[in-house]
Amino acid sequence: MVGMSNDAGGFGPVGPPPSGYPPPGYPPPGQDQSGAAPYPQNYPGYPPPDYPQQGYPQQGYPAPGYAQQGYPPPGYAPQGYPPPGYAPQGYPPPGYPPQGYGPQGYGPQGYSPVPPALKPGVIPLRPLSVSDIFNGAVAYIRMNPKATLGLTAVVVIVAQIVALLLQIGPLAAMGELNNTVGMNGGEPTTAGLVGSLLSGLASAFTTLVSSIVLSGLLTVVVGRAVFGARITIAEAWERVRGRLPALFGIVAIEVVGALVIISVAAGIIAMVAVVIGGVAAFVVGVPVVLAVIAGLIYLGTMLVFAPTLVVLERLSVMPAITRSFALVKNDFWRVLGIWLLSQLVAGIIAAAVSIPFSIAGEMLIVGAATATGAVIAMILMSIGSAIGQIITSPFNAGVIVLLYADRRIRAEAFDLVLQTGATVPPGASPDSTDYLWLTSQTPHR
């Protein structure tokens, strides 16, 4: 096969020029005879001037395997850039989000794609945690101190004065005050013991009545505070006044039910003691007493929302009891735990406040030689008890109402209803959100 010449569109032999080239009289390759013009392009055995010879780079280019002048060797990044496989300085490795951002699908670090819940008042409008409930029970007191601490102080002080008069008055009229407290070394007489018992019952009844009225008033205050609205004492009384009969009916059923359970248990133990003996009565009595305590705790927990339902949902006695059972039954242990924890916290605070007054009163009773000292001692103990109630009663009422709101949020999507109250125009009446608590407004799920 004959190789193609340059005239035929090919190239001559590749490689070094044959011996004797260039021919005599010809200038070196790339120049003509005058030394200026380029060598003819069809010179046999040489490629065109624009192509480098085999194995040699074209002029101005580095040899194969070496970078051009001003460029780093192959496999290395330009100056100022990290090696291959590494991100630029200040950026995390591939597969990781940029610095300051959370995992993939989330925004900058510290932010969540879920928007925060609305909080027009003392609680966020979503299912509540224990801290949300306790913080809300404190926040509504700070938000409206006149309708919480002021109202509580008025009710508690009036109740304590009435209770103190019911304790001291009958005993002083019968001349049994000294014998009742055991002064002058005398033993209490039967009349004195009976008078003391009746006075104690009258004082307890007065305290119970004041607690019912106070819980109803504070329930209205908390209901408004959920939406960030305030209420005066007169407005609270106006809303609660018509609900007092139902409130007293609820408490009467609770008290009567507890007395019936205790009486039945006591009757069983007494019957066993008479028929079999004291040892058998003890053996039977221990589990019976434990069962009574468990039963009372269970019923008290199941009915804990009944007074709140009477005030906020405007229900009568039996519907309120039925609905309280329905709200609590699916979350009994959580309701019981939060309720007991609030009572424990309130009890510790009340004890810390009243203990100094109680100690001073007991010392006065022991060292008093006249009835005046006994009266002063009773007054001191009443003051300590009143201060403890003024501090803790608003907190207890707030916990129960907010726990009730949490149960409705979890069971009935009540947060959707509460959110409509958060969009009430600024000029609307403060009582425009009261109807939202009614059961008919709740979208059940």
DSSP for 381-438, please give it: HHHHHHHHHHHHHHHHHHHHHHHHHHHHHHHH-HHHHHHHHHT--TTS-GGGGGGGGS
Taking the alpha carbons at both ends of the chain, their separation in whole angstroms is: 93
CB count within 10 Å of CB 433 equals 23
Q: Which has the closest alpha carbon to 215: 207, 226, 225, 203?
A: 207
Dihedral sign from CA coordinates of 61, 66, 72, 77: positive
Matching residue, tokens 């010179």: 43
Beta-bridge mates of residue 108: 101
pTM given for the model: 0.70
Dihedral sign from CA coordinates of 98, 99, 102, 108: negative
Alpha carbon of 323 to those of 217, 222, 387, 408, 416: distances in Å?
21, 20, 34, 11, 20
3-state SS, residue 2: coil
pLDDT at 8: 44
Structure tokens at 428: 């609307």
Residues 6+ apart with CB under 8 A from 303: 250, 254, 321, 324, 325
Residues 326 and 407 sit within 8 Å (Cβ to Cβ): no
Matching residue, tokens 């079999």: 276
Let me know if 360 is exposed, middle or buried by CB neighbors in 10 A (0-12, 13-18, 19+): middle
3-state SS, residue 63: coil
Provide φ and ψ at 166, rounded to 5°.
-70, -25
Alpha carbon of 273 to those of 292, 307, 423: distances in Å?
18, 40, 66
3-state SS, residue 16: coil
Q: Which has the closest alpha carbon to 183: 365, 361, 359, 377?
A: 365
Residue 12 has, within 13 A of its CA and on its CB side, a CA count of 13
Residues 172 and 178 sit within 8 Å (Cβ to Cβ): no
What CA–CA distance (Å, rounded) separates 157 from 150?
11
pLDDT at 190: 63
| Residue 283 identity (one-letter amino acid) | V
Residues 331 and 407 sit within 8 Å (Cβ to Cβ): yes
Please tell me what DSSP assigns to residue 183.
G
pLDDT at 335: 96
What CA–CA distance (Å, rounded) separates 144 from 225?
8
Angle in degrees, CA 102, 104, 107, rounded to 5: 50
Largest CA distance in the chain: 159
| pLDDT per 10-residue tile (average), the chain, 445 residues | 45 51 54 48 50 51 53 55 54 53 49 69 92 95 91 90 77 58 53 65 80 92 90 90 94 94 94 88 92 95 95 94 94 95 94 88 71 77 89 94 95 88 68 79 51
What CA–CA distance (Å, rounded) separates 149 from 219?
13
